[in-house]
Amino acid sequence: MSRRILTGMRTTGRLHLGHYVGALDNWLKLQHDYDCFFLLADVQALTTHFDRVAELENSVKQVVIDWLSVGLDAQRAAFFLQSAIGEYPELTVYLSMLVNMGILERNPTVKEEIRDHGMGTVNLGFMMYPVSQAADILLFSPSPEDVGSELLVPVGEDQLPHVELCRDIASRFNRQYGNIFVLPEAKIGLVPRLGDLNGSQAKMSKSMGNAIYLSDSADVVREKVRQGVTDPQKMRRGDPGRPEICPIYSYHEIFNVDNSLTLAAGCRSGNLGCVDCKAKLAVALNQKLEPIREARIQIEARPDVVSQAIWDGTERAHVIGRETMSKVRAAMHLDYRRLKGT
Ligand code: TRP
């Protein structure tokens, strides 16, 4: 019985708190119960970074360092590079025949990204990345005959439309060519969507410049929190505030749970001023981040561990990728290799 996890992240730079509470926290909990494959989505990163390729190698390393620093175990889980798996582009092309263009144009995450990145024109690679993401996932499908097998995709809420599309593609494929794929299940993290400290509706994002990174120093965290937005009606200490609309308070609810009710009461009564409240949040965040920072120092001193994690993981993942792909080719009557020597 195979219980597999396939999930991943675009390698476009260091990871932030949104990644932590939306995804990594979940990966950490699940890594011991599943065979995990964590994808370094460097090809998907090209959809927006094709003109900045010189940055990508460093981004891949930063993501691996972040993964290791939070406690993901590269011995158990395979960390692997999308660009090194030649089966991916092949599977993407085959799957693309099963997808209508309209579905991609209506994909809410694709639309939101186009808006947030201010993309004037959209390249084809970007438009079809949800299909390649379906290939990312399905290449790791266990066999449906294997009773009790699972393919779990722990991701942030924004990725749900992609997992839905992937399920749709998998069932179309199975109907058209035979039962090859298990339908993947999404699993959303505790905090589906972390807002930013300025209270804008945008989620915390690398591209919007409002993120607290896992690798930020304690001082930088304090400064970013200090600049965060609170209830605009609470001008000074003594004024009653409304925690339910305060971005800083929403962070207390996630990162400072034990004290959040007391803080809310202080805010409402006016006893607690925003400056103090922010200082408390910075303390809570720094407490959470400190062990991650310490681990990071150790890992940064060992670049060999980072490359080892990537290459070991990529080799392990590739074995599965080759297996699945030969099943796919056979199902699609594309296994002409078998004619050799007949
Ligand atoms: N789209 C994901 C992100 O933006 C990265 C990703 C690529 C992914 N392939 C995946 C996530 C497969 C889950 C499964 O970070």
> Which of 4, 5, 6, 7 most suits a substitution to test ligand 1, by most atoms within 8 Å of the C-beta?
7
Quote the ligand 1 centre to 155 CA distance (angstroms). Answer: 8
pLDDT in tens, 110-124: 999 888 878 878 899
Q: Which two three-digit tokens encode residue 305? A: 């561990």
Distance CA 173, CA 179 (A): 8
Report the separation in Å between the CA atom of 82 and the middle of ligand 1, taken as the mean of its atom positions: 11
Output the pTM of the full model: 0.94
- Interval between CA 8 and ligand 1 midpoint (Å): 5
CA of 324 to the centre of ligand 1 (A): 19
Atom number of ligand 1 nearest to Cα 133: 9
Q: Residue type for 279, please? A: A
**Protein residue whose Cα sits closest to atom 8 of ligand 1:** 8
Q: Which atom of ligand 1 is nearest to the CA of 159?
A: 1
Task: Quote the ligand 1 centre to 291 CA distance (angstroms).
Answer: 26
With residue 215 as reference, give the H or E element that holds it.
Answer: none
User: Do the bridges between strand 3-10 and strand 150-155 make them parallel or antiparallel, or are there none, so unpaired?
Assistant: parallel
pLDDT band at 194 (very low <50, low <70, confident <90, very high): confident
Phi and psi of 66, rounded to 5°? -65, -45
Mean per-residue pLDDT of the chain: 94
- Give per-residue pLDDT as tens, 1-40: 799 999 999 999 999 999 999 999 999 999 999 999 999 9
Between these two residues, 132 and 210, which has the higher pLDDT value?
Answer: 132
Task: Find the DSSP H helices in 75-151.
Answer: 87-96, 101-106, 108-116, 124-127, 129-138
The residue with greater pLDDT, 196 or 221, is 221
Contact call for residues 241 and 268 (beta carbons, < 8 A):
yes
Per-residue pLDDT, 117? 79
Phi-psi category of residue 180: left, alpha or beta, with phi > 0 → left and psi -120 to 50 → alpha? alpha
Backbone angles phi, psi at 113, to 5 degrees: -65, -40
Ligand 1 neighbours, Cβ below 6 Å, are 6-10, 39, 41, 44, 133, 136-137, 153, 155, 159
Quick check: 206 pLDDT over 60? Answer: no
Distance, CA of 199 to CA of 76 (rounded, Å): 38
Q: Do residues 110 and 47 lie in contact, with contact meaning Cβ atoms separated by under 8 Å? A: no
Average pLDDT over residues 320-330: 97
Q: What pLDDT is stored for residue 116 in this prediction?
A: 82
Q: Starting at the earlier edge strand, list the strands of the sheet with 3-10.
A: 78-81, 35-41, 3-10, 150-155, 185-188
3-state secondary structure of 172: helix
